[in-house]
Amino acid sequence: MLEIQGLRSGYGDITVLQGVSLNVNSGEIVGILGANGVGKTTLLKTISNLIKTRAGTINYQGKNLTHVPPSKLLNLGIAHVPQGRNIFSKMTVAENLHVGLDNVKKRVNPQEQLDYALALFPKLKERWNQLGGTLSGGEQQMLAIARALVTKPSLLILDEPSMGLAPIIVRSVFNAVKKIAQDGTTILLVEQNAVAALNVIDRLYVMDMGRMVYESQEMNDNELEKIKEVYLGAG
């Protein structure tokens, strides 16, 4: 579904991604793990063209994405949930979700998508007319995911959904992620919280210094041991 070859990008004089390759098959949850500052977020931002690609290709369903502006990606079925619960804090929950819907009205049935998102995150229905900034951290993350979900994406890109959340909330967010994948959305997930991520992902990449240093096959005990060696330092 998504194939990335030799991707390079960065900020100013600094090249962060030093030739990243990765592929995501339809229906999978693919995780990218790695420590702070290895380029995980940069990779996601480059995919959605918030940062310009310097070399390499990004292919999505046979279409080259390197020059598609970020605002057009939703119409191709790619939704990006950026790091740090980027919701609109001075707008109500309802408004936040409608912003998501405004740009895809021709493609989806708004009511159906709202119902779907609210069934997944019933808390948001209780908070419907509250300002985004008054939600708890977990609720804000749910709102950010829901705002992406109402656009009916085929590929959902999540940038560290567990950031700054209490463990029980992390669990419920990841359960929702699992549910979304079961309903047919492919997911590309960046995480630092390896333990939480390992419970839901089908396949994973480990990133270091702007490169992929490890690519796993389907998850089994054998793989988990290897990952512990590579990523968790023989845990």
Would you say 144 or 206 has its CB closer to another protein? Answer: 144
- When binding is defined by CB under 8 A, the residue of 11, 102, 112, 199 that contacts another protein is 102
Q: Binding marks (x or -) toward another protein, 53..72, rule CB under 8 A?
A: ----------------xxxx
Taking the complex as a whole, how short is the minimal distance between the CB of residue 136 and another protein, in angstroms? 3
Would you say 34 or 138 has its CB closer to another protein? Answer: 138
Pairing mode, strands 55-60 and 155-159: unpaired
Asked if residue 109 binds another protein (CB under 8 A), the reply is no
Which residue shows structure tokens 């057009």? Answer: 72
3-state helix, strand, coil in the chain (%, to 5): 35, 25, 35
- When binding is defined by CB under 8 A, the residue of 9, 42, 46, 48 that contacts another protein is 48
How far, CA to CA in Å, does 154 sit from each of 9, 14, 104, 215, 219?
25, 32, 13, 23, 23
Asked if residue 12 binds another protein (CB under 8 A), the reply is no
Secondary structure class of 156 (helix, strand, coil): strand
Asked if residue 126 binds another protein (CB under 8 A), the reply is no
Q: What is the DSSP string of 182-231?
A: HTT-EEEEEES-HHHHHTT-SEEEEEETTEEEEE--S--HHHHHHHHHHT
Asked if residue 175 binds another protein (CB under 8 A), the reply is no
In the complex, which residues of this chain contact another protein (CB under 8 A)?
A: 48, 50, 69-75, 79-82, 86-91, 95, 98-100, 102-104, 131, 133-139, 147-148, 151, 165-169
